[in-house]
Structure 1
């Protein structure tokens, strides 16, 4: 299915197929957006492998996405995947496609804190919230990673049998 969508979006009506075509396509914002959506789709089809990589495959859980639309002066937030576990923890999974190690900068670290705060405030949960980054090749360890991310899953983990 992903290949068909890719073909229809990027190849079917492309006039130029010579040298440099792939470099031009893969540098476009359209391709970057498509890649992020395709990666999220693959991740959502591999929740069992994500749980296995996190070491929680034996814990009963409910999985979903979550979104709160901003309004009345309150900020909104979207969470790519929630793993609401029976051990009184919720794994808040953020999925990011990148051709390299993903880097959390100051601005993105603030967005992550906002997501956790909005989720906690709006759901009134008393469970522990654990931030999980699911990326293609891992997250670069820097000062913004250290205080935010409790666990990581990489693309390779999605294709490891639980």
Structure 2
């Protein structure tokens, strides 16, 4: 574990993001998650792509897609893949058993869909995201725009 008091937050995230990128191998379909630490992973993957690594990214958000394009990482929409080799994503909180809470920043549904298609998932988090239990942060929910009227009727 990298100690936060030794390094600045962005430096820790850069190291963690780079280590996660090392799991990506040539020819993989890679789920590209959301969050500040994942940005550093995408940066590292962009460097590897520039050096010849051939991958296809499946972004979980518009912001991630834009960043992947910036680093010349080829991307496809989730509906174009049946399986993803590896997804690298952030989390809001992770407990000692590896259970986590995600979605505080709004890409929850797509992140969950990408994770379900993945053979393997890696969460890139800093030490402040570890907890003995998951009740320390609010549980995010996502309501699809098209379902608002149905859900609103249920509340009456």
- TM-score, normalised by the number of residues in structure 2: 0.32
Greater percentage in strand: 1
- TM-score, normalised by the number of residues in structure 1: 0.31
Give the number of the structure whose alpha-carbon radius of gyration is greater. Answer: 1
Between 1 and 2, higher relative CO (CA 8 Å, sep ≥ 6) is seen in 2
